[in-house]
């Protein structure tokens, strides 16, 4: 429906991303729908401009052939899909850092009654640099509260990350809760390296829809038994079929995930420290006998023996 190209402003020299409607098949009723969609995306991005975790809109308009376009900031970096392929899965602390930023962008949209509806790794950019700042992109099918633009026979979104109500074409219950479901799928993927449903290698859209609507997702604890159960249950709660049963907001989920991840990190650190202390206790006699005092663990070095003064 649209292509995104790298461009450069002829006056300022600023590097930008230009989203342009494709010319093939872009005519008649389809062209009108495309123009409306670009106009809605431009309006939504204008409303969300103050949020640093959402791509900034610089300009919008139409070419002479009435093909719409959007000019947006160029996010110098790569998408989360590439990060997952190269470095995933991730620790709870790393996932918490990523999801905190994703949730900040989603919450900014949800506070204005806007649902993204296409949250997936390809639409999450990581800005180049040590901080790896997250930027949400592609609000092409996003909708505002009360916006009912359903086209008969059309279901918009990415099937792997769509909520059940979105897959079923249930527009009446489609809103921010669908983004919470996608957020849970994203967290599941980051922690386990897989999505919570099993598909054959030659799966088709029909197989995917039947699998997702007819079967319960695989519990995260079954894929990652080493993770704390409360963290797994939190992620699983996002995948509930009933939108009301999911976390009430992206901010609520973010807060709960950060604290649960921190608790799991503390427990892991305490276990590691205990193991180090046991190892230290076992090596102390040998270190004392050889009269070579070495700091085995910073902060856990053996105390020097007390000195006794001898009076002649």
The residue from 29, 118, 138, 200 that is catalytic is 118
Strands 2-8 and 15-21: antiparallel
Number of residues that make up the chain:
312
Measuring CA to CA, which residue among 125, 144, 143 is closest to residue 135?
A: 125
CB 191 within 8 A of CB 224: yes
| Cα–Cα–Cα angle for 73, 122, 175, rounded to 5 degrees | 90
* Contact (Cβ atoms closer than 8 angstroms) between residue 220 and residue 238: no
Known catalytic membership, residue 23: no
Place of tokens 């900014």: 108
Dist CA 93 CA 266 (whole Å) = 11
Give catalytic residue positions. 118
């Amino acid at each position: 429906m649209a292509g995104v190209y790298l461009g450069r402003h002829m006056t300022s020299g600023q590097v930008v991303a230009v989203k342009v409607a494709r010319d093939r098949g872009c005519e008649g009723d389809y062209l009108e729908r495309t123009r409306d969609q670009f106009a809605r995306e431009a309006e939504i991005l204008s409303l969300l401009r103050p949020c640093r975790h959402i791509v900034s809109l610089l300009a919008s308009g139409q070419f002479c052939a009435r093909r719409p376009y959007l000019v947006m900031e160029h996010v110098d970096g790569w998408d989360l899909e590439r990060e997952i392929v190269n470095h995933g899965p991730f620790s709870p602390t790393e996932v918490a850092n990523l999801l905190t930023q994703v949730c900040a962008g989603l919450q900014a949209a949800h506070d204005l009654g806007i649902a993204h509806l296409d949250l997936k790794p390809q639409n999450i950019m990581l800005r180049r640099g040590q901080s790896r700042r997250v930027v949400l992109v592609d609000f092409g099918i996003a909708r505002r509260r009360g916006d009912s633009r359903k086209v008969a026979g059309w279901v918009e979104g990415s099937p792997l990350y769509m909520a059940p109500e979105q897959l079923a074409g249930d527009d009446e219950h489609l809103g921010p809760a669908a983004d919470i479901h996608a957020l849970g799928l994203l967290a599941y993927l980051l922690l386990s390296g897989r999505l919570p449903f099993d598909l054959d290698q030659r799966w088709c859209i029909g197989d995917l829809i039947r699998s997702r609507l007819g079967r319960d997702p695989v519990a995260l604890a079954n894929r990652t038994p080493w993770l704390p159960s409360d963290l797994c249950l939190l992620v699983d709660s996002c995948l509930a079929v009933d939108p009301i049963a999911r976390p009430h907001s992206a901010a609520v989920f973010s807060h709960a995930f950060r604290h649960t991840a921190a608790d799991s990190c503390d427990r892991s650190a305490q276990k590691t420290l205990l193991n180090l202390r046991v190892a230290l206790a076992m090596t102390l006699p040998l270190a004392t006998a050889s009269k070579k005092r070495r700091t085995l663990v910073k902060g856990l070095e053996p105390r020097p023996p007390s000195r006794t003064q001898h009076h002649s």
